[in-house]
Amino acid sequence: MVLQSRSVCCFELCRNGQSLGEAFTSVRVGQGFAYFPAVSLSSHENVRANFGSTPLHYTLPGYRPVQTPPTIDLIRSHLLFGYVERLVPILASCCVPKVNFVFRL
């Protein structure tokens, strides 16, 4: 969860709607600032995180994503991947040389 006021905000960790406390305070946000979430896991561990691209299962008062989802870019990338998905089988069928193996005894 991010509580934001103009150019400074704090990051609060929550699990299943329950606050685990503030992780960072006085974090500068706005133009020219970028933050990249990272998770470190050991063998056979996994994590699922939501950074604001989908609605939260547990709504939190005062929550705002650090950055709004890039809607236009997401639509464009979805279209592009759709084109590529349809094009790959066509290219694979016409451009990959077929090899015939002949076994002689």
Q: Is the pTM of this model over 0.75?
A: no
Answer yes or no: is pLDDT of 99 > 70.
no
Give the mean pLDDT of 59-70.
71
Report the b/e string of 40-67 with b at 16+ CB within 10 A: eeeeeeeeeeeeeeeeeeeeeeeeeebe
Across 16-64, the runs of DSSP E, i.e. the strands, are 18-28
* Domains of the chain by residue range: 2-68
Q: Which two tokens stand for residue 30?
A: 């706005």
| pLDDT, tens digit, 9 for 90 and up, residues 24-47 | 888 887 778 877 878 899 988 998
| Residue whose entry in the numeric block shows the structure tokens 């990959």 | 96
Residue 83 DSSP class: H
